[in-house]
Structure 1
Amino acid sequence: MSARPEQPVRPMMQRDRASAALGMLVEKDEPGESRVSMRVREDMTNGFAITHGGLVFALADTAFAIACNEDERVTVAAGADITFLKSTRAGQTLTAHAVRRSLVGRTGVYDVTVTDETGDAVAEFRGRSLTTNRAAADAGGTAD
Structure 2
Amino acid sequence: MSFDVSDPDALARAVAQAMWDKDLASRSLGMSLDAAGPGAATLSLTITAVMTNGHKTCHGGYIFTLADSAFAFACNSYNQNTVAQHCSVTFLRPAFEGDRLTASAREVSRIGRGGIYDITVTNQNGEHVAEFRGHSRTIKGMPIPVPG
- TM-score, structure 1 length as denominator? 0.87
Shift of 1:69: 0.4
Deviations 1:95-123 (A, max 9, x none): 00000000000100000000000000000
Shift of 1:136: 1.7
3-state DSSP of counterpart to 2:81: strand
C-alpha RMSD over aligned residues: 1.4
Deviations 1:25-46 (A, max 9, x none): 1111001111111000001111
Distance in 2 between residues matched to 1:100 and 1:121, nearest whole Å: 19
**In the alignment, residue 124 of structure 1 is paired with which amino acid?**
E
> Identical aligned pairs, as a percentage?
42
Match of 1:136 in 2: 143
Match of 2:81 in 1: 74
Query: Could you list the runs of 5+ residues in structure 1 that have no partner in the other structure?
Result: 1-6, 139-144
Distance in 2 between residues matched to 1:72 and 1:66, nearest whole Å: 10
Distance in 2 between residues matched to 1:93 and 1:73, nearest whole Å: 30
Distance in 2 between residues matched to 1:98 and 1:24, nearest whole Å: 15
Alignment match of 2:24 (pick from 17, 20, 30): 17
**In the alignment, residue 74 of structure 2 is paired with which amino acid?**
A
Shift of 1:88: 1.0
- TM-score, structure 2 length as denominator? 0.85
Superposition pairs for residues 1-144 of structure 1, below 5 Å? Answer: 10-137=17-144
Deviations 1:66-97 (A, max 9, x none): 00002222100001000000001100100000
Shift of 1:127: 0.1
Q: Name the structure with the higher strand share.
A: 1
3-state DSSP of counterpart to 1:134: coil
**In the alignment, residue 133 of structure 1 is paired with which amino acid?**
K
Query: Could you list the runs of 5+ residues in structure 2 that have no partner in the other structure?
Result: 1-12
Stretches of 4+ aligned residues off by more than 3 angstroms: none
**In the alignment, residue 53 of structure 2 is paired with which amino acid?**
N
Distance in 1 between residues matched to 2:76 and 2:95, nearest whole Å: 29
**In the alignment, residue 49 of structure 2 is paired with which amino acid?**
E
Cα contact 2:47–2:97 (8 A) shared by 1: yes
Q: How many residues align?
A: 132
